A and B are shown apart, each in its own frame.
Chain A
Amino acid sequence: MSTTRPEVALFVTCLVDLFRPVVGFAAVELLEQAGCTVSVPEAQTCCGQPAFNSGDRVDAKTVAAQVIDAFEGFDYIVVPSGSCAGMLSKHYPELFEDDPAMADRARDFARRTYELMAFLVDVRGMTGLDAAYNGNVTYHDSCSGLRELGVKQQPRQLLASVEGLTLIELPGAERCCGFGGTFCVKYPDISNNMVGDKTTDIEKTGADTVLAGDLGCLMNMAGKLTRTGSSIRARHVAEVLAGMTDDPAIGEGQPE
């Protein structure tokens, strides 16, 4: 593992901020274990993806410029979501392609930005960690992380070091769960068909827990699992790796 102590800014993501703060704390814990100093810039809201994917380039640029400002000066920007990390590192430079004032900054910002799992393994050289989780888990590869950023083996490598955890590969793990941001509410019937296929595949693995690296996909899958009466729990992979699994799983109630 690298010896210098880099300054890392956590891009929390709006879903983690609003719905599942424990993922943010898990990310901080993992980054600290990886020898980083972690900050959370206050002036962050959203990565701008809802606007970008809705065809609203103007608002997307405004928000993107604000994010780039807020994260000025850090060695790295780390994101516990492949989707948001993809937005920051792949699409920001694209947004400012024709904007000479911002193009270089956007590219520089993109170069410093990583998805959490990729950062831990590829940049910090983490090969394993000290965590335990009793259960059979399966893993869904979220689309953006997988196809935009190549996040595939990193979470599996880290999960392999978790004591008590058995990973059962999910057939069709690379197929979209049907979340797609606003897609799931704009085209609910199609989205339902997709997430239905996904949760059926998850059930068939016999796993008791499904993990993924994106809260959007997880909320979609968890919401379908609970709706269909499944007892399979859904968690962000960072929660398990950081040993922060005392909270109820996504969509799971408080014990009475």
Chain B
Amino acid sequence: MSSGRDAILARVRKSLARGPVDDGTRAELQARLSGHPRGIIPARSNRDHGAQVDLFVEMAEAVAATVDRVASPDGVPDAVGDYLAQHNLGADIRMAPDDWLESIDWTQRPTLAVTKGPSAGKDEVSVTAAFSAVAETGTLLLHSGPSSPTTLNFLPDNHVVVLRSSQVVGAYEDAWDQLRAAGAMPRAVNFITGPSRTGDIEQTIMLGAHGPRRLHIILVDDG
């Protein structure tokens, strides 16, 4: 529908009372795109890293995520196992095929039945890593890729995210900088802030609308 395209762009330009942007303006706009300047960043997250991690935990818990802090990766299997036990969940977990998660010795908790790959909708619990986490609103950033199937973030009733404290940044913009440094924009970038919720029936907030009913964060202290 290129005719639709050209006609629409022509109407836009007519309304702006000009032709296509001139070369000078184009260069300025290109520079704005490639420089992607930051705007106002709330001072809330402007603190030392330890305090940012605390803020992340505080904000995540405020939106009904649960957070379990463990001292090292070795503590993760037990933390997962305890979480399952606490909520009377079975031993099956669907795990993201993530190098770091795979480097953990899951046999420490022999009862866990770990399978890996995307979800087809039958899994009760998923375990994933995250790309980063944003302190200002307690937001996890996950993105799609071979080691991080998107379906794990939405289909299982319980989403367990294993996060390293060094992955916590202050503001969204900090996460964008890291993501840009990591390469091209992935197909899906998911900002996740607490479990799924709805207020669509009589403005009553309820958790677990379509996505996970619970979001559990295992925060590994790694300095």
| Chains A, B in direct contact (C-beta < 8 Å) | no
